[in-house]
Amino acid sequence: MTADRREVKASNLASYEAYRGSSFPPSAIDADPHEAQTPRRIEALGPSTGAQGLVGLDCCAIPSDSGVATNSSVPPYRRCRRMSLITDTQPALTTLSEQEQMFQEAVRDFATAEIAPKVREMDEAQQIDAGIIQQLFELGLMGIEIPEMYGGTGADFFTSILVVEELSRVDPSIGVLVDVQNTLVVNAFTRWGSEELKAKYMPMLATGSIGAYALSEAGSGSDAFALTCRATQDGNDWVLNGQKLWITNGNEAEIFIVFATVDTDAGYKGITAFVVEKAFDGFTVGKKEDKLGIRASSTTELLFDNVRISPENVLGEVGCGYKTAIETLNEGRIGIGAQMLGLAQGALNHTVRYVKEREQFGRAIGSFQGVQFQLAEMVTEIEAARLLVYNAARLKDAGQPFLTQAAMAKLYASEMAQRVASMCIDLHGGYGFTKEYPVEKLYRDAKVGTIYEGTSNMQKQTIAKVLMR
């Protein structure tokens, strides 16, 4: 063995022993044994310590003290091979840190114990149980990325994606409630709000007020900036008139981010974002839509009749609302991907339990090869979607470009959820077509994934534009 190789081997052994002797950080969740029967507050978590992508790594940039030969005559591929011996192995995208695991488990336990028993009731009533909403705030799930100084959990974007996924396994209506609050509303305040706006509204959003994101109108679906809602200046104030449609959380929300045109001649550069409170004079929540799926989640129209808004309630700069909308929705797409991912996983979980118990021809139907093949197809598609969603979220947290990855995650996860939910009904047979079994509801809920926050065709267009540059 050459001296160089002996030094590399020694370096590897030292690194391995250091890894074996490392310890995990302490728990970030307070577990009071005296409060075992009540929902626990999920305490603030710092930035995720989970898997990160290899960013800017020069595999041939070998330190001079590494013991690895750096003679320029050595071919690059050989230098890279030698480098691989001494670099740390990057964890898989789906590898969670201890903090992330604990957060995930706490949300899963809550969803199973508190939400699952009320899913059918909420679906039929077309309304989210008020007690569930209160618990979501108590657990810190409505302000995941809000800093602790404002009463929030102080975690990262990836954590919010984990939460949406876990809640959506049980009820996608709850998943989208939390998703809109965190990936759209809170995100918009975080990135575009003045210090005054953050100080006023962040504590409200963290502790008891639901937010809504009002962009869509009757004539501006995929053409998101064809807005008829107008804001005109009157002295220092703005006066808002018009209508919004398809607004998630419309009934429950107290705080609305509303996009309106201030200069019709400027096109999309005339769009501005405003913060509107439900209590403002002239503002009314209109008709609630009677939907196919996610029925517990409210989807409403909003009416504005000379609603006066102070200049302090402009979110971002006047005329830059289009940028606020686009960049916020890019993150929201990852959230919808997480919702559909959780939905598909929930449907599969129900189906696996069913095929283990359901007997035909003297044995469980899960023992038949044809059934097993379908299960294998579903779990593979779910895992592929999870990799896409997690990758987009990790890139966002790392400050790397994620536009294309977000579109891919939303596109694939939403279409995958429809395929999986449909196959799950098939495996349930006639029972799957009834409301007695939960897959029927998840099948209905899955359809909206390819429609809201940009249709599948819009995601394809986004991906193709980047490809064709």
Question: Are 343 and 463 in the same domain?
Answer: yes
The domain boundary, picked from 150, 180, 210, lies at 210
Question: Are 303 and 343 in the same domain?
Answer: no
- The verdict on residue 75 lying in a domain is no
Q: What residues make up the domain containing 346?
A: 326-467
Q: Which of 403, 425, 417, 404 is nearest to 449 (CA)?
A: 417
Catalytic, 165? Answer no
Pairing of strands 211-214, 255-261: parallel
Do residues 139 and 198 make contact, with C-beta atoms less than 8 angstroms apart?
no
- The verdict on residue 90 lying in a domain is no
Task: Give 45 or 116, the one with higher predicted confidence.
Answer: 116
Token pair 């996860």: residue: 413
What is the gyration radius of the CA atoms in the chain, in angstroms? 25
Residue 26 has pLDDT above 60, yes or no: no
- The verdict on residue 61 lying in a domain is no
Q: Which of 184, 199, 277, 286 is nearest to 242 (CA)?
A: 286
- The verdict on residue 62 lying in a domain is no
Task: Give 248 or 87, the one with higher predicted confidence.
Answer: 248
DSSP codes of every residue in 210-255: -EEEE--BTTBSSSTT----EEEEETTEEEEEEEEEEEETTTT-SE
Question: Are 369 and 404 in the same domain?
Answer: yes
Question: Are 438 and 330 in the same domain?
Answer: yes
Q: How far apart are CA 405 and CA 412, in angstroms?
A: 10
The pLDDT-based confidence of 91 (bands split at 50, 70, 90) is confident
Question: Are 168 and 222 in the same domain?
Answer: no
Question: Are 184 and 299 in the same domain?
Answer: no
DSSP codes of every residue in 170-220: H-HHHHHHHHIIIIIIIHHHHHH--HHHHHHHHHHHHHT--EEEE--BTTB
**Catalytic residue (one of 114, 252, 301, 453):** 453
Provide CB contacts within 8 A for 130, sequence distance 6+: none
The domain boundary, picked from 322, 352, 371, lies at 322
Q: How far is CA 195 from CA 182, 203, 211, 285, in A?
A: 18, 12, 18, 28
Sign of CA dihedral 204, 327, 340, 257: positive
Pairing of strands 359-360, 363-364: antiparallel
- The verdict on residue 41 lying in a domain is no
Question: What does the pLDDT average to over 11-39?
Answer: 37
CATH of the domain at 147: 1.10.540.10
Percent of residues, the chain, with pLDDT higher than 90 = 77
Amino acid 46: pLDDT: 44
CA 87 to chain centroid, in Å, comes to: 32
Amino acid 238: pLDDT: 98
Do residues 320 and 272 make contact, with C-beta atoms less than 8 angstroms apart?
yes
Q: How far apart are CA 179 and CA 410, in angstroms?
A: 13
Structure tokens at 113: 């114990």
Question: What does the pLDDT average to over 300-304?
Answer: 98
Amino acid 37: pLDDT: 42
- Average pLDDT score, the chain: 86
Question: Are 260 and 199 in the same domain?
Answer: no
Question: Are 189 and 263 in the same domain?
Answer: no
- The verdict on residue 415 lying in a domain is yes
Question: What does the pLDDT average to over 349-366?
Answer: 98
pTM of the model: 0.83
Q: How far apart are CA 379 and CA 387, in angstroms?
A: 12
Q: How far apart are CA 417 and CA 403, in angstroms?
A: 21
User: Which tens digit of pLDDT belongs to each residue from 158-186?
Assistant: 999 999 999 999 999 999 999 999 999 99
Amino acid 224: pLDDT: 75
- The verdict on residue 294 lying in a domain is yes
CATH of the domain at 385: 1.20.140.10
- What φ, ψ does residue 211 adopt, rounded to 5°? -110, 160
Provide CB contacts within 8 A for 291, sequence distance 6+: 299, 448
Q: How far apart are CA 15 and CA 125, in angstroms?
A: 58
Pairing of strands 314-315, 211-214: unpaired
Question: Are 458 and 354 in the same domain?
Answer: yes
Question: Are 138 and 114 in the same domain?
Answer: yes
User: Which tens digit of pLDDT belongs to each residue from 179-229?
Assistant: 999 999 999 999 999 999 999 999 999 999 999 999 999 988 788 788 999
Question: Are 331 and 454 in the same domain?
Answer: yes
User: Which tens digit of pLDDT belongs to each residue from 380-407?
Assistant: 999 999 999 999 999 999 999 999 999 9
Q: How far apart are CA 305 and CA 283, in angstroms?
A: 6
- The verdict on residue 42 lying in a domain is no
Residue 296 has pLDDT above 70, yes or no: yes
Number of domains in the chain: 3
Do residues 185 and 206 make contact, with C-beta atoms less than 8 angstroms apart?
no
The domain boundary, picked from 297, 322, 347, lies at 322
b/e string for 296-330 if b means 16 or more Cβ within 10 A?
bbbbbbbbbeebebeeebbbbebbbbbbbbeebbb
Cα distance from N-terminal residue to C-terminal residue, the chain: 50
CATH of the domain at 300: 2.40.110.10
Amino acid 42: pLDDT: 58
Question: Are 183 and 289 in the same domain?
Answer: no
